[in-house]
Structure 1
Amino acid sequence: MSEPSVLEVAEAAKLASRSLAPLDEPRRNAALEAMAKALEAASAELFAANVEDLKVAESMSGDEKLSSATLARLKLNEAKLKEMVEQVRSVAELPDPLGRTLDAIELDDKDPDAVVYARDTAGTHGLHLQKISVPLGVLAVIFEARPDAVTQIAALAIKSGNAVILKPGREVERTAGALVRVLREAIASQQLPVDAISLVLGRERVNELLGMHSLVDMVIPRGSKALVEYVQANTRIPVLGHAEGVCHIYVDRSVDEELALRVIDDAKTDYPAVCNAVETVLVHREIAADFLPKLAARLQERGVTLHGCEATRELLLEAGFGELGAISDWHTEYGELALSLGIVDSLDQAIDHIHAHGSSHTESILTEDPAAADRFLREVDAAGVFHNVSTRFADGFRYGFGAEVGVSTSKFHARGPVGLDGLTTYKYVLRGHGHIAGDYRGANARAFTHRRENNQSGQKI
């Protein structure tokens, strides 16, 4: 049997999304548990597929050669698979994002005068408007070297009633194919439409997928800056994502040095390949002579290559460190054990630097001065602003979202780590008893009450 066209995949996903949307939460959660068990049972198959991907990835050369950071993301081992399974189950435990009443407004407290209509089953009168959470529909996710992206996104899509089309990079096709086969069999066993999770392979099919604006409701790119920018430039479908993660930590003059060393170490070395790893550390000039040598010693012991501004390089050279590399571009996402160091004269200068060179992802201040912390948190424009915390906490799982489909630096629809709520939209539900718009015009027009009704966010429709 020939591989279905992108159009056929998208049409099948759209039909599947219409079947998913009205399903109750217990059925969606049962599907997630089936997915988790299937992943556990298929570990040998998944690891074997990943070994083949790694062989192909390690053989790539020239423009296609993958960085060590990308290879680290690609590798699937027992620990990563266990985390993937835990994330699927954690999504099932989250509150249902669908059918929640986000707002409720009484437009009129009476029924039409001319005709007596049958009351609804609740016995209410008048005209009542509700804003109700609903799925987006069909998601298309284009990603590079991230096996865990498959399970994170599939779990969040099923929980939020969305169908998903996955387009992996060439380096992860075998692992993604094995994962999707396992997940499709799992949801089919729960009588969910198998096309709720689909796979599209081949670089030449990306543009076809990006052209499905009448069938796909959102595109989520996860990968390099080049990938995200290409997707943004080549589709009419709304795009959710971020091009890069140039995260900063500012070390204020009123800092606990041991706290700062511990936090910066974690932010750089815990997982340097990810977008929430710190890429630039700015240090207040008043403490630079004392603090920077301690920081440089700690990070070099951890294998971090340091780059510095002119003042930093001079200071550390005088302190007995070797020649540091110069900084060619402050707007650099290393994605590996490398870090830019800079000295600033004030909190204002740090904030200005972050706004000039950051990517609006995650920024952190380390200080014992509450006023400085408050100013930083209030004035820095980013999806995440932290105080005395590693930038590595910018993550949907750590936020309690169960998992994430990605991080958005946009100010529209969703921002920061995007979990279930970011995969929903809303519709307006209006209930009345023969009300007509004409009754609210003219000399004897009825008046709208526009009264907010008692509503606790999350109440089901």
Structure 2
Amino acid sequence: MNAIEQLARDARLASVSLQSVTNEQKNEALLRIKQVLAERKQDIFKANEKDKELAEVQVNAGKLSGSLFKRLDICNGDKFETILSGVSDITKLDDPTKKVTMATKVDTDLALYRVTVPVGVLLTIFEARPEVVVNISCLALKSGNAVILKGGKEATHTNAILASVIQDALSSLPDSNPIPKTAVQIVETREDISALLDLDRYVDMVVPRGSNSLVKYIQNNTRIPVLGHADGICSVYLDKEADVIKATRIVVDAKTNYPAACNAAETLLVHEDLLKTDAFAKVAQGLLDAQVTLKCDSVSQTYLQTRYGDNEQYKTKLESAVEEDYSTEFLDHIIAVKVVGDVSDAVEHINDHGSKHTDSIVTENAATADYFMTRVDAAGCYWNASTRFADGFRYGFGAEVGVSTNKTHARGPVGLEGLVIYKYRAYGNGNIAGDYGTGKKPFLHDPISPSDYHL
């Protein structure tokens, strides 16, 4: 057995141990992780500074994007304190395991329960954002899963020390806490990932977080179920009954609050009636003032040039769109703009070009909003709210493993509930299938009250 297979097997054994861990033991482990992270803060910062120095060279050489570089930093501002508070937040969440989601009396002495259980072993692959090491490790432990982590090479030193600190924290738990340090492990090379993607015997789910090319590669090179999304092509549709003040605030926030995020808006769809007034011009001005480049279709470009063509500052930000712009994740201060006839046209465009992540409508008409939210095929559909709310922390999940555009198991920001599956547990008294059927004993199939559970 080679080293990677042994690592995966160790993770599998750890996941078995985690099946019976109590919520109190999980929280004890998480708080110990928070404590050791705080104690090792300076060591973590030194590693992060080293990664940033190396990454800056790559940025200057054009080999690393500015957006990835921004995600790398955990030293400045309150980023590190946010990481620590995120760990505490996870301890306050309910344990997602051992919950009964169905209870049926099949016969007087045969009870059937559907109970939530951990998925098992998670393989998480991500780029930049070293805080993901902490977020996902803590979510995995809280949900009773073991996790194998692989971060981007631009954050090698930070990822390694964060994983080491977490393992040290688990190693220092009292003997009464059975969570092993092998519940959280990290690998460093692409070769390691290639080997792990073949180990469906040990790994139960892959969660990729990163570029379209990364996710597509994972999806095409493993038999293991993949939970994630390839693109974050989010749209905001301005209906003819949109409130202009709300529209401006929402669109500017959705585009500029954090352009490098997967929940940032990449497309702005505008009802044609808004071009008969100054309504769209006001929204566009908000974007232009925020230094956003508008890649416009011919109708919107003519409209905006009429109003801003003499403004030297604005006209350089007005460009002609090409078809591929409406399927592009810019991750920058750029947005594609298109005029549509009505809400049905907007829905059709989003379903054709979007990535099923998050889309928003701005309107004061409840029926129009319901039409949009019912028919848009996305993990998140919002009414009069920025797409930037599509986030595990903002949803109250404490943190998130990632965002899924899948239609099975979990969808949208994936928190604790997305890291459990279920099993059926039957409690009988010598019952056999041959006793039931036509002319024999009937099935009861009566619901069992929680007060009568005997798990």
Q: Is the 8 A contact 1:101 1:460 kept in 2?
A: no
**Structure 1 position 63, deviation (Å):** 10
Shift of 1:56: 2.0
Within 5 Å, give how 1:434-453 maps onto structure 2: 434-440=430-436, 443=439, 445-453=440-448
Contact preservation (8 Å) 2:209, 2:228: yes
Which residue matches 1:145? 128
Amino acid at match of 2:405: T
Contact 1:100 1:460 in 2 (8 A): no
Structure 2 residue matching 1:313: 3-state secondary structure: helix
Match of 1:327 among 321, 327, 351: 321
RMSD of aligned alpha carbons: 1.7
Q: Distance in 2 between matches of 1:261 and 1:160?
A: 40
SS in structure 1 of the partner of residue 302 of structure 2: helix
CA contact (8 A) 1:16 1:196 kept: yes
| Equivalent position of 1:277 in the other structure | 264
Q: TM-score, normalised by structure 2?
A: 0.93
Note closer, same or farther for the CA distance 1:38–1:106 as it changes in structure 2 (3 Å cut).
same
Partner of 2:413: 417
* 8 A contact 2:59–2:66 mirrored in 1: no
Provide closer, same or farther for how the CA distance between residues 29 and 64 of structure 1 changes in structure 2, counting only shifts above 3 A. Answer: farther
Task: Pick one of 346, 359, 365 that aligns with 1:363.
Answer: 359
Q: Give the whole-Å Cα distance in 1 for the aligned partners of 2:101 and 2:450.
A: 8
Summarize the Cα distance change of 1:302–1:402 in structure 2 as closer, same or farther, 3 Å threshold: same
What is the alpha-carbon distance in structure 1 between the residues aligned to residue 47 and residue 123 of structure 2? 23
**What is the deviation of 1:290?**
1.2
TM-score (norm 1): 0.92
Unaligned runs of 5+ residues in structure 2 are: 310-314
Q: CA separation in 2, counterparts of 1:28 and 1:167?
A: 23
**Maintained 8 Å contact 2:128/2:151:** yes
Q: Displacement of 1:61 after TM fit? A: 6.8
Alignment of 1:396-435 (within 5 A): 396-435=392-431
Question: Which AA in structure 2 matches 1:22?
Answer: S
In the TM superposition, 1:200-349 aligns within 5 A as 200-288=187-275, 289-321=277-309, 322=315, 324-328=318-322, 329=324, 330-349=326-345
Range moving further from structure 2, 432-441 or 412-421: 432-441
* More displaced stretch, 181-190 vs 216-225: 181-190
Structure with more contact order per residue of length (Cα contacts < 8 Å, sep ≥ 6) = 1
| Residues in 2 aligned to 1:61 and 1:301: alpha-carbon distance in whole angstroms | 27
- My pick for the range that moved more, 43-52 or 434-443, is 434-443
SS of residue in 1 equivalent to 2:327 = coil
Letter in 1 for 2:15: S
Alignment match of 2:39 (pick from 41, 45, 68): 41
Whether the aligned pair in 1 keeps the contact of 2:197 and 2:222 (CA below 8 Å) is: yes
* 1:381-402 deviation per Cα after TM superposition (whole angstroms, max 9, x unaligned): 1000000000000111111111
Q: Distance in 2 between matches of 1:61 and 1:335?
A: 16
2:259 and 2:281 mapped to 1: Cα distance?
21
Give the Cα separation in 1 of the matches to 2:62 and 2:6: 30
Cα contact 2:163–2:186 (8 A) shared by 1: yes
Q: Mean alpha-carbon deviation: is it higher for 410-419 or for 447-456? A: 447-456
CA distance in 1, matches of 2:434, 2:454: 32
Deviates more, 1:210-219 or 1:321-330: 321-330
* Separation in 2, partners of 1:235, 1:29: 33
The answer as to whether partners of 1:35 and 1:183 remain within 8 angstroms in 2 is: yes
Counterpart contact for 1:97–1:424, Cα < 8 Å: yes
Question: What residue is the counterpart of 1:171 in the other structure?
Answer: 154
My pick for the range that moved more, 418-427 or 58-67, is 58-67
What displacement does 1:235 show? Answer: 0.3
Q: Which amino acid aligns with 1:399?
A: Y
The structure-2 alpha-carbon separation of the partners of 1:378 and 1:448, relative to structure 1 and needing over 3 Å to count, comes to same
Partner residue of 2:84?
Answer: 85
Counterpart CA distance in 2 for 1:64 and 1:194 is: 39
Shift of 1:204: 2.1
Q: How does 1:118-197 map to 2 (within 5 A)?
A: 126-190=109-173, 191=177, 192-197=179-184
The structure-2 alpha-carbon separation of the partners of 1:451 and 1:64, relative to structure 1 and needing over 3 Å to count, comes to farther
SS of 2:133's partner is helix
Using the alignment, how far apart are the partners of 1:143 and 1:201 within structure 2?
Answer: 11
Q: How many aligned positions are there? A: 439
Gaps of 5+ in 1: 110-125
Deviation, structure 1 residue 319: 0.7
* Preserved contact between residue 363 and residue 382 of structure 1 (Cα < 8 Å): yes
Q: Take 1:235 and 1:96, find their aligned partners in 2: how far apart are those partners?
A: 30
* Residues 108-135 of structure 1 deviation map (CA, whole Å, 9 limit, x = unaligned): 01xxxxxxxxxxxxxxxx1101011100
SS in 1 for 2:394: helix
The match for 1:117 is none
Aligned residue type for 2:70: A
Contact persistence 2:26–2:141 (CA under 8 A): yes
2:56 aligned partner: 58
> Any idea what SS the aligned residue of 1:396 has?
coil
